[in-house]
Amino acid sequence: MTHDPTLSAGKVWLIGAGPGDPDLLTVKAARLIGCADALVYDHLVGEGVMDLARPDARRIYVGKEASNHTLPQEAINRLLVDLAREGLAVVRLKGGDPFIFGRGGEELEILAASGIAFEVVPGVTAAAGCAAYSGFPLTHRDHAQAVTFVTGHLKDGTVNLDWPALSRPCQTIVFYMGIGAAGEICRQMIAHGLPADTPAAVVRNGTLPDQRTLLATLATLPGRIVEADIRPPALIIVGSVVELHEQLNWFERP
Ligand SMILES: C[S@@+](CC[C@H](N)C(=O)[O-])C[C@H]1O[C@@H](n2cnc3c(N)ncnc32)[C@H](O)[C@@H]1O
């Protein structure tokens, strides 16, 4: 039984768990996580977040690293439907925001088609978390009048993006899931007109105690990623705002 009268049974809450630091959860997310009968969660959901769950709640890990799905997406969809039909209050927890490269929409489409009630609670997406904790604003009147979030990981393994649009000046481009394609990303942006010395950075494990930010340029970033052995989860950020890290960094201490 649910421990909160506002939490009705037989329903799913799709919740963004933020980029890692559990203090970045919304108040609503923390309350719902603490009341749920069952929690279905991905690998980027931080341990501190799961600590908020009731001790007797059912916890179901469904994984989902780039190419290592503990449960295929169809099985996750079915699981959510089955748990709700058992009459449970189900929390579906995803890293960051569920509607930003999180396949949250696909899961909700199945719930809607199955007649299961649901709600969505947004979360702090990795770009916002990494920018805040690395000390660079994503927009700034002197640097960037627009920001774009792009996936660097496409279904067929290619990076077939609108390179002319992504390579325009005066904007910040944030690549999610782009570490494996860093060489191609930087090559394409230079080929489409950005100077090779355009500032670029990578942030790994943003908002967590072991967060690491590397500053480079489009020309040097792929080599720096290899040298420093940067692995996912990490973001690539392209644009002059990243240079503000040196002045505005408050979180990472040497
Ligand atoms: C499947 S996407 C999920 C994005 C998530 N829904 C969000 O809004 O942040 C996973 C990618 O997000 C990025 N990411 C997630 N958490 C991160 C973190 N703490 N630090 C850096 N990048 C992160 C990485 O690029 C990772 O490969």
Interval 26-50 mean pLDDT: 94
pLDDT of 212 > 90? The answer is yes
**Does residue 3 carry a pLDDT above 70?**
no
pLDDT above 90 covers a percentage of the chain that reads 85
pLDDT in tens, 54-108: 999 999 999 866 555 578 889 999 999 999 999 999 999 999 999 999 999 999 9
pLDDT at 159 over 90: no
Mean pLDDT for 207-233 is 97
pLDDT at 89: 97
CA 127 and chain centroid, separation:
7
Mean pLDDT of 118-141: 98
Which residue among 21, 47, 101, 252 is best mutated to probe the pocket of ligand 1, counting the most ligand atoms within 8 A of its Cβ? 101
Answer whether residue 14 shows pLDDT above 70: yes
The residue-averaged pLDDT of 173-185 equals 95
Residues 227 and 233: their CA atoms lie apart, in Å, by: 17
Q: Which atom of ligand 1 is nearest to the CA of 232?
A: 27
For 187-198, how does the pLDDT look when each residue is reduced to its tens digit (9 = 90+)? 999 999 999 999
pLDDT at 1 over 50: no
Cα dihedral 186, 188, 193, 197, rounded to 10, equals: 10
* Cα-to-centroid distance, 20 and ligand 1 (Å): 9
Index of the ligand 1 atom closest to the CA of residue 179: 25
Q: State residue 96 phi and psi, 5-degree precision.
A: 65, -130
What is the helix (H) or strand (E) element at residue 58, kind and residue range? strand 58-63
* Nearest one of 233, 196, 238, 232 to 215, comparing CA atoms: 238
